Structure 1
């Protein structure tokens, strides 16, 4: 890996120690397995992995922890470079016992659902996004970049859908 990139990641994430906001995050279910991608991104740090994190009262978990369970808390909306993206949590981890971070898989090129109303007008629904070709990218984020939970569905035709649930904020 390029050492400049490794230094950038270290300075952006590893130098952030627990702040007064840490009371809002509660890590759970310590995981012993190493994530090779997280290890590649943060090679000279002490990393601890977890299966769950509570952000206030909201529970988030890794996608592997959610497999086979009734509820899937691994699908989220998050902010990266001032843009909101839907994604799936691959890893929850701390760097040198600092704040919790998430390694999120996301699809950069999603299209909003568009319905034809008539020959001249379309209705675009931004709360349902889809991609016909699925090329996942990965990004480490701080937990504070989490916006809300979302829903992920992959159809038998191989189309990936992300659904954003309307909230009172969206409807008012």
Structure 2
């Protein structure tokens, strides 16, 4: 995902630090500021975008600080002391610091990134996912994508059939009593 973001920003007419700020915050408590500096140096060697030196920030924080920031933007992750499990994604914030859009997955296309940046620049908030859709889909932290959850679908469908069946039986019993 980072590759797509860097390539898109490099091809855009946007200037980092003026038109947008890019912040990568590591939620891994084992990573240090030296790791962040190294990641930035490697990134700037491989990708170029106007203003990237000053407008792209790579940060680390103490565990409780990164957890607070992640919670504030709705980024869930779990750290068990050895490994870190989290979705692959970014939160795009407006100029007011409100989440405008979430981009999840391994491969986010250029158009999606550009649309997200335009919405954020206009202080627009993307519509939330439909709660009904979320009943049928499951987020896989390993792939960073939502996928249809067959077990959830079967539960919903079988619950619907059970409800319809129960309603049919109650109606039949009620008719039998009335006759």
TM-score for the superposition, normalised by structure 2:
0.29
User: Whose strand proportion is higher, 1 or 2?
Assistant: 1
User: Whose helix proportion is higher, 1 or 2?
Assistant: 2
Larger radius of gyration: 2
TM-score for the superposition, normalised by structure 1:
0.30
